[in-house]
């Protein structure tokens, strides 16, 4: 039978290998799911993983989709490094989008300045929303997971209120959406003939900045220490309160920026469906990317593939779009499962193992 | 406010609080063993869909709810395998359960979104239901509401009076010591996790088959997360879970009553809908201020994996 044996040191090689293993297992499971649903697995694979890469335009669409995901995930990863569990990026994304929309609707016709203000508003909005969780955590010791999550639902209701109420487009046939932004309030397109916009540049800069922060600065070092051992961090005199604030504020600002990029980019307006689960997908991206900027970039591309593949599966295979969320969840399951191999190796043991881990009762019963 | 309206609100509060009691008491047992499963929202969603689809096909709400229980437990089994056998981080794995469960439920439930099943008539208890006010509120309910009280009573008895409860708490407080005295730590933890999943599935099934009765994507709407918060709010004590769950049932219901009432209150509907979430935050703040109380009452090994060697 199989049993696990602790490695003397954690395997760096497995740390790198486990995400690709998880991806491969997710894809394999996907093929099985397609077959079980009576769809041709190869056709499913093609629709999900090949079609989005077929043409120049579809590749730029993939990059466009990956952009807010990468921005959001980079911010979260910095918090996760310090063991700050910001689970509410979805809400911070929405509030960032609302804040940026506020600027666009009231002050959106000034070239360059409008966009700068929108970026700032988006980041501030997201950071403020995350700041609630930080404040309650540091002041009252309130669990940041539950608070940031509750605030997701509140943010969803907030965006629903603004697009059904005060900001509803009077000429929008009663759809829950604002009017389209003026072109001065839209991020400029980078590549002719595509929708890929300046936000892609933001993402690249952010990933680079994240790399520098995490590997080259004292702050990054402190956050890593705080994440690995709260005791060691306290002993070294690092303030956990400061880590909580920084982790949540950076995560919130990035999520808010991603929200801004979405309304000022492909959407060009605010709707009640603005977040589309990106904030939750970003959590998975941060983990699959090993909280490492390069990994996050790759994982964001993969997740973008899932999103676009999900849309395609809806169109060509008649499957509900929620299949991309199923894949997202599967990917995280497989990653967490594969990560066991970082600290342990699998052994094949003939017959019964000598020590039945976790159930000494069985052993003692045998001896009596 | 007329007496009739008060009775109606109290009645509806008990109904709305029921799934929260179920999910929270399941999570309580799970956490008592030291296992922190944040996936209640996902297990509820999957339970709700499985129960609804089964009830739709078979015409039997009871069978539906049973399948819902099974579905919740199955998802919990995955959680158990990854966190117990593979010793993965419980917070991350719980999140995966939540994301996967909500997604899977949306995926599987899509074709059933506009279907309806017939509502199950309430089970009026003889004699008891004739008591004025209380009879209407407590004893003209769905059979599952009574079952919830039975389950609750059993859990209270189990935790406070049984040997099994002692073992469960020992595992949650110190898995190492429990292991040393010959308790099969991981087996106990598996059972606790499965119970939590089964209760979440039952809670979801109650919502989709008895309460609404229908399935729409997003109908769980954070109730799984609220149940998690309730366990913290209750500082891991069952009676406080019950109280908290009905309190929140009241919050959920009163905003519906205000929204549908003839009282012309000039507040956006969304603000009223946000009340349960805001109330959750307020309640968490009030209880968490006393860090010591949380520390004393929470199972000492909560969230930590255990390996014998």
Give A241-290 pLDDT, tens digit per residue: 899 999 999 999 999 999 999 999 999 999 999 998 999 999 999 999 99
- In 3D space, the residue among B10, B24, B11, B22 whose CA is nearest the CA of residue B150 turns out to be B22
Which ranges of A52-112 would DSSP assign to H, the alpha helix?
56-81, 89-107
For an interface test with B, the pick among A141, A159, A160 (most B C-beta atoms closer than 10 Å) comes out as A141
Banded pLDDT at A363 (limits 50, 70, 90): very low
Tell me which of A327 and B120 has the higher pLDDT.
A327
Residues 6+ apart with CB under 8 A from B138: B14, B128
Q: Are the CB atoms for B224 and B20 separated by under 8 Å? A: no
Q: What is the pLDDT of residues A80-97, one digit of tens each?
A: 998 899 999 999 999 999
Q: Is B17 exposed, middle or buried (0-12, 13-18, 19+ CB in 10 A)?
A: buried
Q: Which of A99-113, A147-161, A338-352, B219-233 has the lowest mean pLDDT?
A: A338-352
Give the whole-angstrom CA distance, residue B184 versus residue A356: 10
* Residue B173 domain-assigned (yes or no): yes
Mean pLDDT in residue range A190-195? 91
Residue B157 to chain A, least CA–CA distance (Å): 25
> Do the Cβ atoms of B217 and A280 come within 8 Å?
no
Banded pLDDT at B263 (limits 50, 70, 90): low
> Tokens 């000022």 correspond to what residue?
A264
Banded pLDDT at A366 (limits 50, 70, 90): very low
Q: What is the pLDDT of residue A358?
A: 45
Q: Are the CB atoms for B88 and B82 separated by under 8 Å? A: yes
Banded pLDDT at B79 (limits 50, 70, 90): very high
Mean confidence (pLDDT) of chain A: 90
* Residue B2 domain-assigned (yes or no): no
pLDDT at A361 over 60: no
Q: What is the pLDDT of residue A239?
A: 85
Q: What is the CA radius of gyration of chain A?
A: 23
Q: What is the pLDDT of residue A351?
A: 64
Q: A158 to chain B: which residues are within 8 Å by CB?
A: 270, 274
For an interface test with A, the pick among B82, B89, B103, B184 (most A C-beta atoms closer than 10 Å) comes out as B103
* Residue B304 domain-assigned (yes or no): no
Q: Which of A33-37, A46-50, A112-116 has the lowest mean pLDDT?
A: A46-50
Give the whole-angstrom CA distance, residue B300 versus residue B304: 9
* Residue B133 domain-assigned (yes or no): no
> Do the Cβ atoms of A358 and B281 come within 8 Å?
no
Express as a percent the part of chain B with pLDDT over 70.
Answer: 98
- A130 forms bridges with which residues in the sheet? none
* Tokens read off for B99: 């994301």
- In 3D space, the residue among B183, B185, B309 whose CA is nearest the CA of residue A365 turns out to be B183
> Do the Cβ atoms of B271 and A160 come within 8 Å?
no
Q: Is A38 helix (H, G, I), strand (E, B) or coil?
A: coil
Residue B23: which domain range? 17-114+141-297
> Per residue, what are the HEC states of B19-48?
HHHHHHHHHHHHHHCCCCCCCHHHHHHHHH
Largest distance between two CA atoms of chain B: 66
pLDDT at A230 over 90: no
* Residue B163 domain-assigned (yes or no): yes
Q: What is the pLDDT of residue A352?
A: 57
Number of domains in chain B: 1
Banded pLDDT at B135 (limits 50, 70, 90): confident
pLDDT at A196 over 80: yes
| CATH code for the domain of B52 | 1.10.3470
Q: What is the pLDDT of residues B209-245, one digit of tens each?
A: 999 899 999 899 999 999 999 999 999 999 999 999 9
Residues 6+ apart with CB under 8 A from A109: A182, A184, A185
pLDDT at B136 over 60: yes
* Residue B134 domain-assigned (yes or no): no
Residue B308 has phi, psi (to 5 degrees) of -65, -40
Domains of chain A: 2-352 (1.10.3470)
Q: A328 to chain B: which residues are within 8 Å by CB?
A: 99-100, 103
Chain B's closest residue to A362, CA to CA, is B184
Express as a percent the part of chain A with pLDDT over 90.
Answer: 65
pLDDT at B88 over 80: yes
Give the whole-angstrom CA distance, residue B105 versus residue B49: 6
> Do the Cβ atoms of B274 and A284 come within 8 Å?
no
Tell me which of B12 and B262 has the higher pLDDT.
B12
For an interface test with A, the pick among B277, B286, B306 (most A C-beta atoms closer than 10 Å) comes out as B277
Q: Which of A72-81, A211-220, B117-126 has the lowest mean pLDDT?
A: B117-126
Banded pLDDT at A112 (limits 50, 70, 90): confident
* Residue B308 domain-assigned (yes or no): no
**ipTM reported for the complex, 2 dp:** 0.92
pLDDT at A137 over 50: yes
Torsion of CA B294, B297, B301, B304, to 10 degrees: -40
pLDDT at A354 over 60: no
Q: A324 to chain B: which residues are within 8 Å by CB?
A: 103
Q: What is the pLDDT of residue A313?
A: 87
Chain B's closest residue to A319, CA to CA, is B107
pLDDT at B63 over 60: yes
pLDDT at A368 over 70: no
* Tokens read off for B20: 């929260």
Residue A242 has a CB neighbour count (10 Å cut-off) of: 15
> Do the Cβ atoms of B184 and A361 come within 8 Å?
yes
| H or E element in which residue A347 lies | strand A344-348
> Do the Cβ atoms of A320 and B86 come within 8 Å?
no
Q: Which of A13-22, B216-225, B263-272 has the lowest mean pLDDT?
A: B263-272
Q: What is the pLDDT of residue A188?
A: 94
Q: At what angle do helices A113-140 and A240-262 cross, to 10 degrees?
A: 150
> Do the Cβ atoms of B102 and A325 come within 8 Å?
yes
Q: What is the DSSP letter of A177?
A: B
Q: Which sign, positive or negative, has the C-alpha torsion B288, B291, B292, B294?
A: positive
DSSP string, A270-291: -BTTSSTTHHHHHHHHHHHTTT
Mean pLDDT in residue range A108-124? 93
Banded pLDDT at B264 (limits 50, 70, 90): low
Tell me which of B155 and A44 has the higher pLDDT.
B155
pLDDT at B262 over 70: no
* Residue B99 domain-assigned (yes or no): yes
Chain B's closest residue to A159, CA to CA, is B270
Residues 6+ apart with CB under 8 A from B9: B250, B253, B254, B257
Chain B's closest residue to A140, CA to CA, is B289
Q: What is the CA radius of gyration of chain B?
A: 19
Give the whole-angstrom CA distance, residue A65 versus residue A189: 14
Q: What is the pLDDT of residue B260?
A: 73
Mean confidence (pLDDT) of chain B: 92
Q: Rounded to an integer, what is the distance from CA A230 to the centroid of its chain?
A: 25
Mean pLDDT in residue range B252-261? 79
Q: At what angle do helices B3-32 and B143-161 cross, to 10 degrees?
A: 40
Q: Are the CB atoms for A239 and A78 separated by under 8 Å? A: no
């Amino acid at each position: 039978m199989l049993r696990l044996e602790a490695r003397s040191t954690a395997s760096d090689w497995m740390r790198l290998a486990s995400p690709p293993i998880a991806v491969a297992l997710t894809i394999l499971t996907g093929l099985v799911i397609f077959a079980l649903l009576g769809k041709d697995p190869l056709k499913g694979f093609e629709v999900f993983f090949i079609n989005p890469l077929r043409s120049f335009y579809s590749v730029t669409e993939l990059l466009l989709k990956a952009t807010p995901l990468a921005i959001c995930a980079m911010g979260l990863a910095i918090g996760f490094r310090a063991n700050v569990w910001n689970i509410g990026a979805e809400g911070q994304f929405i509030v960032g989008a609302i804040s940026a929309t506020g600027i666009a609707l009231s002050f959106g016709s000034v070239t360059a300045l409008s966009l700068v203000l929108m970026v700032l508003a988006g980041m501030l909005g997201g950071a403020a929303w995350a700041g609630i969780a930080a404040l309650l955590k540091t002041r009252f010791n309130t669990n940041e997971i539950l608070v940031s999550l509750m605030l997701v639902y509140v943010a969803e209701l907030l965006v629903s209120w603004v697009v059904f109420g005060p900001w509803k487009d009077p000429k929008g046939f009663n759809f829950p959406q604002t009017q389209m932004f003026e072109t001065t309030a839209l991020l400029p397109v980078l590549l002719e003939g595509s929708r890929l916009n300046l936000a892609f540049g933001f993402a690249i800069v952010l990933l680079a900045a994240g790399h520098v922060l995490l590997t080259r600065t004292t702050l990054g070092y402190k956050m890593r220490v705080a994440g690995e051992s709260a005791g060691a961090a306290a002993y070294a005199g690092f303030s956990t309160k400061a880590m909580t604030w920084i982790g949540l504020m950076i995560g919130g600002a990035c999520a808010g920026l991603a929200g801004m990029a979405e309304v000022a980019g492909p959407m060009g307006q605010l709707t009640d469906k603005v977040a589309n689960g990106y904030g939750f997908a970003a959590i998975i991206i941060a983990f699959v990317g090993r909280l490492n900027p390069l990994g996050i970039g790759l994982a964001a591309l993969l997740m973008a593939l899932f999103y676009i593949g999900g849309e395609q599966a809806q169109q060509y295979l008649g499957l509900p779009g929620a299949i991309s969320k199923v894949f997202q969840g599967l990917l995280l399951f497989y990653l967490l499962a594969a990560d066991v191999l970082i600290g342990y190796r699998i052994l094949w043991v003939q017959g019964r193992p000598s020590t039945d881990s976790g159930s000494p009762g069985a052993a003692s019963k045998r001896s009596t | 406010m007329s007496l009739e309206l008060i009775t109606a609100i109290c009645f509806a509060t008990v109904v709305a609080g029921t799934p929260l009691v179920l999910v929270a008491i399941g999570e309580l047992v799970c956490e008592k063993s030291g296992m922190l499963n944040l996936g209640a929202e996902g297990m509820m969603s999957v339970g709700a869909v499985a129960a609804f689809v089964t009830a739709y096909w078979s015409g039997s709400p009871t069978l539906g709810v049973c399948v819902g229980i099974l579905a919740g437990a199955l998802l919990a089994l995955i959680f158990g395998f990854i966190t117990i056998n593979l010793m993965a981080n419980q917070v991350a794995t719980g999140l995966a359960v939540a994301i996967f469960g909500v997604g899977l439920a949306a995926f599987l439930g899509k074709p059933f979104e506009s279907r309806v099943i017939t509502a199950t008539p309430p089970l009026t208890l003889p004699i008891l239901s004739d008591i004025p006010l209380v009879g209407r509120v407590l004893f003209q309910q769905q059979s599952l509401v009574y079952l919830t009280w039975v389950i609750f009573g059993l859990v209270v008895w189990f935790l406070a009076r049984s040997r099994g409860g002692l073992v469960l708490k020992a595992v949650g407080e110190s898995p190492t010591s429990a292991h040393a005295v010959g308790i099969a730590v991981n087996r106990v933890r598996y059972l606790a996790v499965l119970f939590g999943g089964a209760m979440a599935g039952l809670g979801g099934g109650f919502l989709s088959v008895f309460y609404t009765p229908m399935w729409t994507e997003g109908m769980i709407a954070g109730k799984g997360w609220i149940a998690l918060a309730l366990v913290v709010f209750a500082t891991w004590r069952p009676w406080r879970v019950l109280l908290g769950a009905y309190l929140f049932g009241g919050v959920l219901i009163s905003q519906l009553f205000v929204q549908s009432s003839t009282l012309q209150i000039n507040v956006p509907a969304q603000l009223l809908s946000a009340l349960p979430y805001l109330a959750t935050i307020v309640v968490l703040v009030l209880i968490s201020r006393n860090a010591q109380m949380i520390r004393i009452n929470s199972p000492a090994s909560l969230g930590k994996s255990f390996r014998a060697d």
